[in-house]
A and B are shown apart, each in its own frame.
Chain A
Amino acid sequence: MVGMSFLRTAAAFTARLNPLKRPCQASNLLSRTVARSEQVVVRHGSHGKRMFIIKPTDFYDRRFLHLLKYYIILTGIPMAALVTFVNVFIGESELAEIPEGYEPEHWEYYKHPITRWIARTFYDSPVKDYEKMMALIQIEAEKAEMRQLQLEVRRHMREKGDGPWFQIQTLDKNLIDHSPKSSPDN
């Protein structure tokens, strides 16, 4: 009986080890381990058995990418739509000769309608900027000239001493008491 069970186990063992009857693995052949039998392959109507796949968390990465896409698209799509509508329905300007006796506004020197709008609404005309710069330069030049003059005048007055600057106030002559000096050898 024991021999029978031993034979049965031996038969089962050899059947498992039979290279024709089981999937042949190199590690099995080398280490002579027994291939563990898995679930029998059955064709389900679904995607197969649900597996709990263990991998590092991608929650933060996916959250970041989702937020990135969200915030970019939030203003990206309205901007793209606006620019498309402007280009399709308004269109760029055409180059033309300046008509006689007509002074174009400063935004009429640009081609694209959005550039024109920006130049019209936000920016000062380049002529105005030029004039502002020239006014600043004029003010600074005048200031520099005034300072130079002041130094020159200061030098003269210090030298000659007859100007309103650099006058040292002396005591009034009438306040001097001459009585001790009037009688010598007192």
Chain B
Amino acid sequence: MPKDHDKDVYPEPPSRTPVEDRQSSLPNPALILSKLFYYSVDLPVTTFRVCLACLSSGKKSHYYHQKFRRVPELTQCQEGDYVCYYEAEMQWRRDYKVDQEIVKVIQERLRACQQREGPSYSQNCYKELQQFEQVSKAFQSRYGDLGAYASARKCLMKQKERMMAEQQQA
């Protein structure tokens, strides 16, 4: 069965047992619908997955998360050392992918927070909003308009332009 989301990262607000204050004698439609959904969809699917888990052979293979060594960056390469350039470029591409995933995670957190809080999200999710703003600004300033053919050299040149602009401002 796929694992549920991390409860520490996407916390649910503390549940409050409501005091039953029924003023109508009609049956509760939400209860009926939830029971219907449970018996028609949830229970069959769960039993199916549990049966599959029983059927599958006991020994489970493992897969690992690959860890890459850090290599010298583009600024630390000798001029004309094309092998060094290649390794720096590959490392930069891996870092670019990692940064994209980081931005996605922060976005997901903000989205989850907004879904939880509803109309009052701008007040209750202040931390997530600030985090998202900071992260997206940083991403934009570093990788912003590099385009589809982004490379470590272009990113370095963009950094140089940024530093020159900052120096001129100061």
Contact = CB atoms under 8 A, between A and B. Distances in A.
Contacts of B61: 93-94, 108, 113, 116
A110 B63 contact: yes
Nearest to A130: B90
B22 interface: no
A134 B87 contact: yes
Given A109-B64, A109-B66, A91 B83 contact: no
A94 B63 contact: yes
A94 B58 CA distance: 12
A94 B56 contact: no
B7 interface: no
Contacts of A141: 80, 82-83
A108 B67 CA distance: 13
A94 B66 contact: no
B56 A96 contact: no
A104 B87 contact: no
B64 A96 contact: yes
Contacts of B115: none
B61 to A, nearest CB: 4
A138 B55 contact: no
Interface of A: 87-91, 93-98, 104, 108-111, 113, 116, 130, 133-134, 137-138, 140-141
A89 B90 contact: no
Given A89-B56, A134-B87, A137-B83, A96 B63 contact: yes
Given A88-B55, A91-B53, A91-B56, 5 more contacts: A93-B62, A94-B62, A104-B64, A134-B87, A137-B82
A120 to B, nearest CB: 12
B57 interface: yes
Given A88-B52, A134-B87, A137-B86, A98 B64 contact: yes
Contacts of B60: 91, 93-94
B5 interface: no
A89 B57 contact: yes
B56 A98 contact: no
11 contacts: A88-B56, A89-B55, A91-B52, A91-B60, A94-B63, A95-B62, A98-B67, A108-B63, A130-B90, A134-B86, A137-B82
B82 A140 contact: yes
B65 interface: yes
Nearest to B2: A92
Contacts of B57: 89-91
Contacts of B87: 134
A111 to B, nearest CB: 5
Interface string B39-74: 000000000000011011100111111110000000
